Structure 1
Amino acid sequence: MKPVLSHPVRFADMPQRKVSRIRLVPDVGQLEALADRLDVDAFRKVLLDVELSPGPGRDWTLTGKLGATVVQPCRVTTEPVVTRIDEPVVRRYTPDLTTPEGEEVEMPEDDSLEPLPKVLDLGDVLEEALALMIPEFPRAEGAEDIDLTVQPPGAEPLSDEAVKPFAGLAALKARMEGGE
């Protein structure tokens, strides 16, 4: 899927001995499209400031900061919640990395390491980082917890202690030790 804000970078065309600085700022239409794509009410502003540094060897390092203001509904009250995001973004690209194949794959220790693409779209980096940083369950200030206790008429509601995995075994052990 093509990013809302496309900014392709060909590493072969980049200066090989100095840092390149790039800033992405989506316009109003792109902010609306990003909000639709990432399923939030709105983005008031989004800014990705990055530096692309060559080396070591044929590797490249992307470091920067993502800033955004996102509006989402509170998961309890549905009131709008405004969240400010200011987070670092780090990616390392290397031509020597192979993508593991198979049903079960062990995750690498360095989750910022990625295969070096011929063309890197910084719009993809922006969208991916933003999607990872948006709060999953935003809550309005002062929102009360909802009590979702349900039980049949006349029955006692389950307590937190009763739903623990070994609560039934503990009760059984207590009955056996008590001679019941």
Structure 2
Amino acid sequence: MSNQTSLRVADLPQNAPTSFDLRPDTKALEAIRDDLGLLGLRKLSFVGDVRAQGKRDWALAGKLGATVIQPCVVTLEPVTTRIDVPVTRVFLADWTAPDEEEFEIPEGDESEPLGSEIDPAIVMIEALSLSLPQYPRKDGAELEQADYTEPGKQAMTDEDTKPFAGLASLRDALKKDE
């Protein structure tokens, strides 16, 4: 899919935006669905343009739309979510990678290194994966208390984890003795 949508930077006009309108076919939708671990993916579209920003940099702006189906984190039943988000990326000719081994990318940083091509399909899939609900939950689904322990022992409850609950009952017992 990416070969058909790649835009060669050398061929992009400096004085006019280059539009794109991606609406993946069924086969491509299935591949994206499988890559992202979704139960279903429908109505995926990514529409926008790429335009020059200054003399050497390029900006991509678009709107991503999709209907995704994921398993509920509580019941595993299918949960359908509609995603409609704006997407922007800035491709910088003089982008430099951080020299630290571990670094944190600032939130909202939309800059990327400029290569010989800009591929809206790659941006679309990345933006979709970042827009997915992390913990999809079916309406009304709640996790019941689950108790786990080794056989023959009593499971620790939420009440047992409250350190002062036992002290309160001890205090009450001491007051009765007085």
Q: Same fold (TM over 0.5)?
A: yes
Is 1:79 the equivalent of 2:77? yes
Paired position in structure 1 for 2:172: none
Measured against aligned partners, the alpha-carbon deviations of 1:83-119 in whole angstroms (never above 9, x if no partner) come to: 0000110101111111123313353575101111111
- Are the aligned partners of 2:148 and 2:155 in contact in 1 as well (CA < 8 Å)? no
**Which deviates more, 140-149 or 117-126?**
140-149
Scaled by the length of structure 1, the TM-score of the pair is 0.79
Whole-angstrom CA distance in 1 between matches of 2:157 and 2:3: 51
Trace 1:1-180 onto structure 2 (pairs within 5 A).
Answer: 6-108=4-106, 111-150=109-148, 153-154=153-154, 157-159=157-159, 162=162
> How many residues are treated as equivalent by the alignment?
163
Q: Which structure 2 segments of 5+ residues have no match? A: 168-178
Higher helix share: 2
User: What is the percentage of aligned positions where both structures have the same residue?
Assistant: 41
Displacement of 1:159 after TM fit?
3.6
SS of aligned partner of 1:147: coil
Q: Which structure 1 segments of 5+ residues have no match? A: 172-180
SS of aligned partner of 1:90: strand
SS of aligned partner of 1:135: coil
Distance 1:139 1:126, change over 3 A: same
Scaled by the length of structure 2, the TM-score of the pair is 0.80
Structure showing greater radius of gyration is: 2
Whole-angstrom CA distance in 2 between matches of 1:139 and 1:161: 27
For the aligned residues, what is the CA RMSD? 2.4
